[in-house]
Chain A
Amino acid sequence: MKLFRIDQEEWNRFLESLRNDMEVCQISEREHPFKEKLLPPKETLFYYRKDTPKQKEILNTKKRLFVGLSPCDAKTKQLLDLNFLSEPYPDPYYKALRDNTWVITKACQDFEPYCFCDQIGDSPAKLNGADGILYDLGESYHLLLDNEMLIQKLEEFGKSGESIENEDSSYEKGKIPSRNLAPLPIEPLKKNLLSQINNQELWEQIESTCLSCGACTFLCPACYCFDIQDTSYGRAGKRERIYDSCMFKSYTAEASGHNPRPTGKERWRQRLLHKFSYYPTLYGEIGCTGCGRCIKACPSKIDIREAIKHAAKYCG
């Protein structure tokens, strides 16, 4: 891990110099989650022939560097890794994309009304597994890099950095916002939410105004559920994976007509349990980055922070 002081002009020239080796994308908008780069809304898995058993897999190994996203979005990679790289079947498509993706985030200088990373034990200035993070010092940046390849490139570019133990070491980080909000009661959920599966009252209250659209999950940086479908034309076709949402009625509906999650209550239960119970049970991390996009996107303004607090009341 190395810390560099770099001014804006140098930084831009450095990015320019990287363009020979990889695609460099500056991300400034926050509307869309970073997961779209690692798990595209539509991804071709393979092409096939319909008349003969022939197929061709498509692995995307283009090198890409993403710069400027929020630290919470870097967490996407950590969280998706847990699912997609898990044994016994590491996902080759995800692996190809993520292995060729580098991320340099930019510490947030403001909270948006909806975000709550500080309430789930994160901070708007944390590295979160990114390859680097920029701290805005006005005219220049402090750039903390945690990736050998990028450190080497920057040193070749002519900057020298100072080795640093870890990201908590003291150095100037510019304006890091803070606010006094009580942390969300995640721990009780991790431990006891599963015991509440039959608590009709709880799920009914949380779900009462949900419309069962997929806006929250499509925009959630940690939701990864997908569907696989075929598209064909003439004698050939392709198999694609596309987003799906646990909030849709059709998500679990079986061809026989049976639906294991027939109403919104079961579907909300699944969403909350998946993020705050199953994910911690399986991988030790909650499936939430605190970005707040789900709150912003919800047509009926259901607030996951309140759902967490509400559920925690039952979880002791």
Chain B
Amino acid sequence: MSEFEPTVVGFLCNWCSYAGADLAGVSRFQYPPNLRIIRVPCSGRINSLFILKALQGGADGVLVSGCHPGDCHYQTGNFYARRRLELFSNLLTYAGIQKERVKLAWVSASEGAQFAALVTEVVEDLKKVGINKDFVRDTKDIEEYTHESE
């Protein structure tokens, strides 16, 4: 059996982290291809439901990344996000969702190498904790029907 390849959904802020990811690409830094990027205007835009829905929909991990505190394009968006997301990830960990599954990070537009390192770390961690089975929606019956009706 081949090695488990986690699916990671990344919510990246448009101004820093998305540009950081772009830089990583342009600079040809290698990082695992497990990340699916969703660009958001600001880390302050991230609703806790985004994270939960990603996990429910089958993501093994969620990466949330924005500008470093103080560098927000909208001045203060990431300060609010910091409070919100820290509290939220604490709550999820407390409820028993492995802390590796929700990764919060600051990546600026110039940190291409750091972005590559971050994604590598996230994917490595998720390979250790394994597939997300506690929080994923149960669609077994629908999948069975899909096969049966092919």
Contact = CB atoms under 8 A, between A and B. Distances in A.
A49 interface: yes
A178 interface: no
A234 B144 CA distance: 12
Interface stretch (B23-31, B109-117, B124-132, B135-143): B135-143
Interface stretch (A118-126, A183-191, A235-243): A235-243
Contacts, number: 32
A234 B141 contact: no
A237 B141 CA distance: 9
A235 B146 contact: yes
B149 interface: yes
Contacts of A54: 149
Q: Is the interface of B mostly helix, strand, loop or mixed?
A: helix
Contacts of A234: 139, 142-143, 146
Contacts of B94: none
A47 B145 contact: yes
Interchain residue pairs A-B with the least CB separation, the first 5: A233-B139, A47-B145, A236-B146, A233-B142, A236-B142
23 contacts: A47-B145, A47-B149, A49-B146, A49-B149, A54-B149, A56-B145, A56-B148, A56-B149, A233-B137, A233-B139, A233-B142, A233-B146, A234-B139, A234-B142, A234-B143, A235-B146, A236-B142, A236-B145, A236-B146, A236-B149, A237-B142, A238-B142, A238-B145
Given A56-B145, A56-B148, 16 more contacts: A44-B141, A47-B142, A47-B145, A47-B149, A54-B149, A56-B149, A233-B139, A233-B142, A234-B142, A234-B146, A235-B146, A236-B143, A236-B145, A236-B149, A237-B142, A238-B145
